[in-house]
Amino acid sequence: MALLYESVMLQDRDTWLNRKWFILLKLILLIVNIAIIVLDNPYIILLFTIVYVVFYASIRALKLVYSALLMYIPPISAVTLLTYLAGNLSTHHLNLYIYGFSLILSILLIFSTSKREDLLRLLSKIRLDMAYSLTLNIFEELRQMVDSKIARGWEPGFNPFKYYVIIIDAIKLTIIRLQEVEEALRARGIE
């Protein structure tokens, strides 16, 4: 949730990457980043990762890279360990892991450094603007819910059982919002 929160907060900042015409450049970078896996060259993949980190550093958003790294390392470490124990770990696998992180940074760059209006305009062309708006609304309500729980005495910590209440409430909130959207769409005649 910290990664999403940092991304949403970065959308509101005025940086050189937030300009309207940069969204096309960021999309081209994403497409090229998707295509570089065909080359299977670790240096090109590392170059793209470094370029993204430099982009984030130029807008003072290295905390977002750090959050993405914290999100990415645990599952990739488990997969790497299992691959190593199976005896199948190769440089190709390591390229794929670095490529995955580069792809996450690329998608985050588009999401976190584009204004909401520009993203809505872009996503409306492929009919995903409503899903984007709904996601942002649910995220805002989740953030407010966590803030109210903290105000009532709930303390986040390292005990995973403390998060049970938050996870259940988040699931309930998401289900309620999706049912409301479904009812609204049916009322408009959309099946």
List the structure tokens of 54.
């430099």
Under a CB-based contact definition with an 8 Å cutoff, are residues 104 and 4 in contact? Answer: no
Instruction: Please tell me the predicted confidence (pLDDT) of residue 46.
Output: 93
The dihedral region occupied by 55, where left means phi > 0, alpha psi between -120 and 50, and beta the remainder, is: alpha
Query: Average of pLDDT values for 141-170?
Result: 83
Measured CA to CA, the distance from residue 123 to residue 137 in angstroms comes to 16
Domain range for residue 53? 2-120
Half-sphere exposure of 110 (CA within 13 A, CB side): 19
Residues 147 and 103 reside in one and the same domain: no
Claim to verify: residue 87 and residue 43 sit in the same structural domain:
yes
pTM here is 0.75
pLDDT, tens only, 82-109 = 999 998 888 888 899 999 999 999 999 9
Residues 73 and 146 in one domain: no
Please state, in angstroms and rounded to a whole number, the distance separating the CA atoms of residues 65 and 70. 9
Q: CA triplet 163, 165, 171: central angle to 5 degrees?
A: 100
